[in-house]
Amino acid sequence: MIEKKPIIFLLLATATILVGTVITMVAPFWWINDPKLAIASVKPYTPLQLEGRDIYIREGCNNCHTQTVRPLLSDTERYGEYSKSGEFAYDQPFLWGSRRTGPDLARIGGKYPDAWHVKHMKDPQSMVPRSNMPSYEFLKQPLDTSLSERKMQALHFPYTREDLMELKGKSELDAMVAYLQKLGNDIPWRKAAQAVVVGELKNPFQDNMAVLPEGKALYQQNCAQCHGKDLQGDVGPKLSDLDKPDAQVFTTIYSGSQAAGMPAFGDSLGKERTWKLVTYLKLRQRH
Amino acid sequence: MDHQEGYADDVVKGFLISSMLWGFVAVLLGVVVSLQIAFPQLNLPPYFSYGRLRPIHTNAGIFGWGIGSFMAFFIYITQRLTKTRLWSPGLARVQLWLFNTVIALAAVTLLLGMTRSKEYAELEWPVALLVVVLWVIFAVNIVMTIVKRREEQMYISLWYILATLVGVAVLYLVNNAGIPVSLTKSYSAYAGANDANVQWWYGHNAVAMVLTTPPLAIFYYFLPKSTGVPIYSHRMGVIAFWSLIFMYLWTGAHHLLWTPVPDWVQTLAMGFSVMLIAPSWAAVFNGYFSMNGQWHQMRENYLAKFLIFGITFYGLQTLQGPSQAVRTFSAFIHYTDWVPGHVHMGTLGWVSLVLFAGIYYTVPKLYNREIYSVGLANLHFWLAVIGQLIFSISMWIAGVQQATMLNASNPDGSLHYSFMETLIELYPYWYARAFGGVIYFVSLLFFLYNIAKTITGGAPQAVAQKA
């Protein structure tokens, strides 16, 4: 009996452990990161983005934020196009995480303008009321670039002298924002999402004064952080004398505008509440 | 069998005291990070933020409290089951110092933000190398003791001990492969979906080889020792052992359902996870059936309470785990608070209750004294169980609620709630979780007080018996 032979027992146990290991952990190396799954538009990190990524790792952001969008409606509607294997080809280590105490960040790139991130990192609650994210104001300290070049070499990422020069005078926060703005943005999914027609664009609450209180509440919750409590403008433009057709205002809120740095709110507000917001923005001027 | 003199037990005492210290740190930090989630202003960056403290909590718990106790019990149990003195007590003393150095280094480096970011494998490469040295020293000492044993037959606990020694070694070496950039910074050797698959092969089998096989070794030894009943079925133990260590290694990707890892890997993980119910429950039945005719001990013997509740939480854990590994259910609860609820039933319920039993059993023997207070031990038991249940149940409800809200949609197909609207509703559950954690922490204080009083005071057992 092997219960009387410890060395044979040890070898047998090792063999037993190795069966599943070889099939489900070693063998997939032949499938994953296959050239067929590569996405040409996915680029390695620049030195600044890589430094930002290292700060993301240092601060343990992955303890609260995931970075993988599952092919499930509640994920894709909320965060965008589902994640593809090829998008992570340069991620050493991967940062998919295991718990969404905060939202998924796989497609955060391009969702908000840089200025939004700067304000949010400094004081998260000022941009997202009742958020439980800690303040990362201390990231305004200067970026340590002593290892930047060696890091690029270690990962075999291409870089130029200009890339390294770009690091001069940058803060850790600059690096973090540069990293966040790259996330999920290498494939042109956001443009495709914006092109989707959102149905017939007629305001169901046109001239309906009854929705103003709700519209105002929605504004204060979602918009005031960037456009100001009194619509006077801040990160985003002034809205107090907004003079655009309802349908255009709706589209801008619902689908966002990457060029203008306006996030899409359709996923979180839905159509009805977006129209109420439009109604508020248009009708409040008449008072 | 209990002739204490010949065995190297001083080092067992050292490991037990160390592990209790790290357990105290782990639970205290657990309370701190649970409060930080509920009250974000309690984060004091850069050092005392959730992102940096949470890995210290998990490392102190799994490696400080868990591995520390396992090292103590493996050395204690192996000597007695082989009727042989530890191969090298000197090496074991080196191991004790190295162990405490590694855990302290882990805490400091993680606090400074030196991390590889992979869960339960965060330690940067110089510390990870020390872990490898530590493990080799440990494994050699145990294996050599078994090789030189005077008892021919290896009892079931020794199988689990041997599997742990080899399993942890394989897992740790593969997942820690990296590219160093400096003394304090390295990158994973694997990229993207590959890295994810390696990490969760490691991560889930850390659950197997650290949080399952060692507590089972301890359970199978201390249940008969504490209750005086033999294990119900040796054969069931054999079947359960081999099928457990065979199947566990296939299941890592159930942490990666719906991710870009190949579908067939996910499907295998799902299937094997469900099959794992069988060997897991074989151990549960072995525990229960051993108690047949002896259930009155649950009233009279506090050690039986810890052990049987422990194996019961193991049974619940190994039903809940496989259900979470099914794609449809994973789609619903993965990434929510349900998962920390699940994990803590395993760590606070199963693993810690069995460790408490082991410590309550061995400390009086090692120090030749009676336990200071059985009443305090009972109080500890009930507070621990209540604290853990408050924690887990509030997290399960929170997870289901958030999952339901995240999935709610409007008639036009758009989502009903924004992410923040679902988060705001979690605050009451986070307060409840912190409350459960505080109760567990208080129970731990009673435990530590009881053990400290046992070690320092009380009448020596032998003297009391002679008189």
Rounded-to-integer distance, Cα B361 and Cα B225, Å:
9
* Amino acid in position B197: N
Rounded-to-integer distance, Cα B26 and Cα B24, Å:
5
SS3 A141: coil
Nearest to A98 among B255, B262, B416 (CB): B255
Q: Is the pLDDT of residue A138 over 60?
A: yes
pLDDT at B5: 61
Residues B158 and B259 in one domain: no
What is the chain A residue with the closest CA to B331?
A: A72
Minimal CA separation from B240 to chain A, in Å? 13
Strand extents, DSSP E, B40-155: none
Question: What ipTM, to 2 d.p.?
Answer: 0.95
Q: Phi, psi (5° rounding) for residue B180? A: -70, 140
Residues B167 and B284 in one domain: no
Structural domain contains residue B65: yes
Residues of A with Cβ-Cβ distance to B153 under 8 angstroms: 3-4
Among A9, A61, A63, A277, most B C-beta atoms within 10 A, so best to mutate, is A63
* Amino acid in position A48: L
Contact A84 B260 (CB under 8 A): yes
Domain span holding position B282: 217-460
CATH of domain A47-189: 1.10.760.10
Residues B296 and B423 in one domain: yes
Give Cα B289 to chain centroid, integer Å. Answer: 24
Rounded-to-integer distance, Cα B79 and Cα B155, Å:
12
Q: Is the pLDDT of residue A257 over 60?
A: yes
By CB neighbour count within 10 A (0-12 exposed, 13-18 middle, 19+ buried), where does B130 fall?
Answer: middle
Residues of A with Cβ-Cβ distance to B50 under 8 angstroms: 60, 63-64, 134
Residues B178 and B137 in one domain: yes
Span A31-59, mean pLDDT? 93
Contact B419 A72 (CB under 8 A): no
Among B209, B249, B275, most A C-beta atoms within 10 A, so best to mutate, is B249
pLDDT in tens, chain B (467 residues): 444 568 999 999 999 999 999 999 999 999 999 999 999 999 999 999 999 999 999 999 999 999 999 999 999 999 999 999 999 999 999 999 999 999 999 999 999 999 999 999 999 999 999 999 999 999 999 999 999 999 999 999 999 999 999 999 999 999 999 999 999 999 999 999 999 999 999 999 999 999 999 999 999 999 999 999 999 999 999 999 999 999 999 999 999 999 999 999 999 999 999 999 999 999 999 999 999 999 999 999 999 999 999 999 999 999 999 999 999 999 999 999 999 999 999 999 999 999 999 999 999 999 999 999 999 999 999 999 999 999 999 999 999 999 999 999 988 788 889 999 999 999 999 999 999 999 999 999 999 999 999 999 866 655 444 43
Count structural domains, chain B: 2
Rounded-to-integer distance, Cα B444 and Cα A5, Å:
40
Domain final position from B142, B170, B189: B189
CATH of domain A197-286: 1.10.760.10
| pLDDT over 70, % of chain A | 95
Contact A17 B181 (CB under 8 A): no
Contact A70 B258 (CB under 8 A): yes
Residues of A with Cβ-Cβ distance to B189 under 8 angstroms: 92
Q: Which of B140, B163, B316, B152 is CA-nearest to residue B237?
A: B163
Query: What residue ranges do the domains of chain A occupy?
Result: 2-30, 47-189, 197-286
Residues of A with Cβ-Cβ distance to B193 under 8 angstroms: 32-33, 85, 88, 94
Q: Give the number of A-B residue pairs with CB atoms closer than 8 Å.
A: 267
Q: What pTM, to 2 d.p., does this model score?
A: 0.94
